[in-house]
């Protein structure tokens, strides 16, 4: 799974309820500037 943290978490809960083996699930969360700002994290420039 790959997506915003809230989506990855929600999908993980669904898979767990459906008894998907955790070892078969790979999760990768990504964020953008809006997600970081909403979380109160400082924005830093990437060069």
Q: Give 6-42 pLDDT, tens digit per residue.
A: 888 999 999 999 999 989 999 887 777 777 777 776 6
- As for how many domains the chain has, the answer is 1
Predicted local distance difference test score (pLDDT) of residue 42:
66
Domain presence at residue 16: yes
Which residues, listed in sequence order, are joined to residue 28 by a DSSP beta bridge? 2
Predicted local distance difference test score (pLDDT) of residue 18:
96
Domain presence at residue 25: yes
Which residues, listed in sequence order, are joined to residue 34 by a DSSP beta bridge? none
Residue 47 has pLDDT above 60, yes or no: no
Domain that holds residue 13: 2-39
Domain presence at residue 45: no
Domain presence at residue 21: yes
Domain presence at residue 6: yes
Mean pLDDT (whole number) for 1-7: 86
Domain presence at residue 47: no
Residue 5 has pLDDT above 60, yes or no: yes
Predicted local distance difference test score (pLDDT) of residue 14:
95
- Is 29 within 8 Å of 5 (Cβ atoms)? yes
């Amino acid at each position: 799974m790959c997506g915003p943290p809230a989506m990855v978490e929600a999908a993980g809960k669904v898979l767990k309820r459906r008894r998907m083996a955790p070892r078969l699930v790979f999760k990768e969360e990504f964020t953008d500037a809006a997600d970081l700002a909403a979380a109160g994290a400082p924005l830093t420039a990437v060069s």
